[in-house]
Amino acid sequence: MLKVFLLALTLLACSKGKHEHTPPASINADVSAKRQLYCDLSKAQIEALGYAGGKCDGLLFTSLRAIGCADIGISQFQNDEGRWFRNPEKDCFIVDPVTGGKKNQGADSSISKDMLVGAMSYMWWKKDKSAVDATVSYGEKHAWVMGQGIDAVAVISKCTLSPTLISTLYDIQKGLAQTPALVSTELINQIPLNTGFRAHLDVLHALLVGSVHRSLPDNEYQNLKMQAERQPNNLLYQAAYAQFSGGNMEAVTEQLLHSPRFPNDRLPTTAEYCTDYLWQRDESPKDWEACTDKPLEAHDGTDFAFAAAIVDGTYFNPKD
**Residue 277 within any structural domain of the chain:** yes
d(CA 58, CA 51): 6
**Residue 295 within any structural domain of the chain:** yes
Region 23-44 average pLDDT = 92
Q: Please list, in sequence order, all residues whose beta carbon lies within 8 angstroms of the beta carbon of residue 116, skipping any fewer than 6 positions away.
A: 59, 84, 146, 161, 165
Q: Please list, in sequence order, all residues whose beta carbon lies within 8 angstroms of the beta carbon of residue 303, skipping any fewer than 6 positions away.
A: 236, 277, 278, 279
Mean pLDDT is lowest, of 129-143, 170-184, 211-225, 301-315, for 170-184
**Residue 317 within any structural domain of the chain:** no
d(CA 181, CA 308): 28
* Domain encompassing residue 117: 17-311
**Residue 283 within any structural domain of the chain:** yes
Q: What percent of the chain has pLDDT over 70?
A: 89
pLDDT of 240 reads: 97
Neighbour tally for 14: CB within 10 Å:
8
**Residue 3 within any structural domain of the chain:** no
**Residue 319 within any structural domain of the chain:** no
Q: What is the tens place of the pLDDT at every residue in 157-189? A: 999 999 999 999 999 999 999 865 544 444 444
**Residue 318 within any structural domain of the chain:** no
104: CATH: 1.50.10
Q: Directed axis angle between helix 196-213 and helix 218-230, to 10°? A: 140
| pLDDT of 14 higher than 80 | no
Q: What is the tens place of the pLDDT at every residue in 185-236? A: 444 444 568 999 999 999 999 999 999 999 999 989 999 999 999 999 999 9
